[in-house]
Amino acid sequence: MLNKLRSLPWLLSTLLIAAIAASPLYFILTEVQKPTQEMWEFISEEIEIPADPADTSPPENEPSPLQNYISGSLIMLAGVTTLTLIIGISTAWLTTTFRFPGRTTLTILLCLPMAIPTYVMAVMYNELLEPHKFSLFLWIRDTYSPAAAAQCSIYWKFTLAILILSLSFYPYVFLAARMAFKKQSQAYIESSRILGRSITSTFIRISLPLARPSIIAGLTLALLETINEFGAMKILGIETLTTGIFSAWLDFDELNSAVRISAIMMLIIFTLLILERLLRGNKKFHTHRSAASENPGITTSKSNITIIYTTTLAITTLAFILPIYKLIQQASLALPDQNLQPYLDLILSSSWLAIRASILIIIAATLLAYTARITPKWWILLTTKISLLGYAIPGAILGVVLLSVKGTLHQSADSTAQWLFHTTVTGLIIAYAIRFLTVGFNPIEAGFKKINHNLDEASTSLGRNKLTTLLKIHLPLLRHSFLAAAIILFVDILKELPLTLILGPSNNDTLATKTYGLFAAEERIPEGSIPALILVATSLLGLLILSTILKDKQP
């Protein structure tokens, strides 16, 4: 009984975190049960085209805006799925299966696109391809027809958007697949080769099926980011469910319709998550008992090394070098005439916001992971999973839901709403905590799993309570996990755009919102390239520090 009482504060903390994390879903379910409003009727009905009196063919209706939102999102999901799998799996296999000079450097280079926000990459590619696009459309118009040129413009936008998002998000698949390939037993590959299979056949029949759970997990993260994407879609002029949420809220000031679009978006997301779980199934992927800790790779010929370098460097050029080159070029045009003091202030304010949110997330993640460790009951594990639902909720949805909370608070306690959403960034920090709790939880949970439970028992036998054990025993051992979580959170929060646009106070810009505002709203590309370059440089620094930490942790 005494032991249960000692665990009570930890259990209550976990339940409180789960209640806060699950509240967006509750507000969505509550809002969609309310009567529809005029805006919803407008976006959900097909558009009637007035009939031409001289035309005897039956009149046709154009798809409704809602249908365009859904089809746009599904096209992006299908395209990004295909391209991220091709790029991520192929690069992971090449850099894992073969041993060659510079393999570590290539691996780091392939991760660098994660430092470039998608809306920055979209603007830079627009600048790179604009002259060629204009010439192409003029040629199609003159050769065929204006209608063909208009149709080609739609294909161009979707193709470019799929390319940009795939180049930004393939590292999720690359890292997951590479880790899976490295952990596979060399005995499997050697047995397959002895039986006469080629290295390609071995990859298709042995390595790829064994790595499937990790690949699907990485792909799921990429798809969640894709459906959450707003900045690049807005810049490229593509209508998706996320842009529809912003349109309903900003253009029409209609919260109910925005929440209804959010509900459709959540339905697609949960379908993806359920599909991921079904594809994973209950299969077990065991490692051969004679396997080493990592697959060391095999030596290969100079011609194969040339192919590997050509492939990986081509992807790196498209995903990182070209956008960075154009970004530096654009920033250099504005730097001579710019006062850099506002940008220095922006760096400090954005960093301070990200640091505060990261600290809150790390505290919450530690509470969840430690409670699950000391009380490994099924309902605690279920509560923990509920607490981590926030990462499956796109920033646009979360922002809209918290706006509903804001409206409720205005009716009951106006001063509270003013404090949360106008005077301070407290509401935004809470939203970050809900959205990115999973990002902070995963490395901390992994760190806890590496700590032997005998240390807990020894500490208890010496008379220490659970809090003292956490502070004196676990926290020092988790320092690398905390630092890794802090860096990942800092980079993700700095780049977050939809949530910050919706909930950020009007007088409190971040590097992300300032960059997007100059790019999209004011179309001042050179000026916007300065905060964008700062944002990319900060993210790059975080990724390099993280890679150093992970390298030092390896035995």
Q: Which domains does the chain possess?
A: 1-27+239-271+342-555 (1.10.3720.10), 73-237+304-330 (1.10.3720.10)
Burial-class residue 431 by CB neighbours within 10 Å (0-12, 13-18, 19+). Answer: buried
Q: What is the mean pLDDT of residues 446-472?
A: 82
Q: Would the pLDDT of 400 be above 90?
A: no
- Note the pLDDT tens digit of each residue in 175-213: 888 888 887 766 667 677 677 777 777 777 777 888 888
Measured in whole angstroms, how far is the alpha carbon of residue 121 from the centre of its chain? 15
Place of tokens 């998706």: 240
Report the alpha-carbon angle 392-221-536, nearest 5. Answer: 105
Q: Would the pLDDT of 236 be above 70?
A: yes
Which of 262, 327, 269, 312 minimizes the C-alpha distance to 117?
A: 327
Q: What is the mean pLDDT of residues 411-432?
A: 68
Going by C-beta distance under 8 Å and a sequence separation of 6 or more, which residues neighbour residue 250?
none
- Note the pLDDT tens digit of each residue in 465-512: 888 888 888 888 888 888 888 888 998 898 888 888 888 776 778 888
Going by C-beta distance under 8 Å and a sequence separation of 6 or more, which residues neighbour residue 55?
none
State the pTM of this model: 0.86
**Going by DSSP bridges, is the β-strand pair 298-299/98-99 parallel, antiparallel, or unpaired?**
parallel
Q: Would the pLDDT of 137 be above 80?
A: no
Mean pLDDT of all residues belonging to the chain: 81
Report the alpha-carbon angle 307-308-310, nearest 5. Answer: 65
Helix 479-495 to helix 426-449 angle (10° resolution) is 150
Going by C-beta distance under 8 Å and a sequence separation of 6 or more, which residues neighbour residue 413?
none
Give percent helix, percent strand, percent coil of the chain, each to the nearest 5: 80, 0, 15
Place of tokens 């003013």: 418
User: What CA dihedral angle connects 345, 348, 353 and 357, to 10 degrees?
Assistant: 170
Place of tokens 């050769």: 143
Distance from C-alpha of 374 to C-alpha of 467, rounded to nearest angstrom? 11
Hey, is 61 helix, strand or coil? Answer: strand
- Note the pLDDT tens digit of each residue in 51-75: 555 555 555 667 788 888 999 999 9
Can you give the pLDDT at residue 292? 45
Least confident of 132-136, 279-283, 453-457: 279-283
Phi, then psi, of 48 in degrees rounded to 5:
-85, 130
Can you give the pLDDT at residue 374? 83
Q: How many CB atoms lie within 10 A of CB 317?
A: 13
